[in-house]
Amino acid sequence: QVQLVESGGGLVKPGGSLRLSCAASGFTFSDYYMSWIRQAPGKGLEWVSYISSSGSSIYYADSVKGRFTISRDNAKNSLYLQMNSLRAEDTAVYYCARGHMYGYVYWGQGTLVTVSS
């Protein structure tokens, strides 16, 4: 069965960096677009970024552009989100999700990132 497992969240100071990982299993990872979506505590969903199956097409939300970098390693069935210059407003649960234009069917359980001094 399809599984997406995020890791790498935690407490970081403003201006710091964190790298999130998403380990995929149960499907041919290299066939699918993957995305990161986040949810601040008590707030709604915010789309962050997607990467195409080959990694050749990447888009970001304006709120993270220039600070976050999405990448993937198809040989390791893994998706990544490098987050630099973190701000308090980046505090959220970060989900990886499989899908693209026809919605996100599969989601991970989420990993909490807290940016605080």
Partner 1 sequence: DIQMTQSPSSLSASVGDRVTITCRASQSISDYLNWYQQKPGKAPNLLIFAASSLQSGVPSRFSGSGSGTDFTLTISSLQPEDFATYYCQQSYNTPYTFGQGTKLEIK
Residues of span 46-85 touching partner 1 by CB under 8 A:
46-47, 50, 59-62
Decide: is 107 part of the binding site for partner 1 (CB under 8 A): yes
Q: How far is the CB of 63 from partner 1 (least distance, A)?
A: 9
CB closer to partner 1 out of 41 and 75 = 41
CB closer to partner 1 out of 74 and 112 = 112
Is residue 104 a contact partner of residue 37, using CB atoms and an 8 Å limit? yes
C-alpha distances (whole Å) from 48 to each of 61, 75, 106, 117 are: 5, 24, 16, 23
Decide: is 44 part of the binding site for partner 1 (CB under 8 A): yes
Decide: is 109 part of the binding site for partner 1 (CB under 8 A): yes
Decide: is 41 part of the binding site for partner 1 (CB under 8 A): no
Q: How far is CA 91 from the centre of its chain?
A: 13
CB closer to partner 1 out of 12 and 93 = 93
In the complex, which residues of this chain contact partner 1 (CB under 8 A)? 35, 44-47, 50, 59-62, 95, 97, 99-105, 107-110
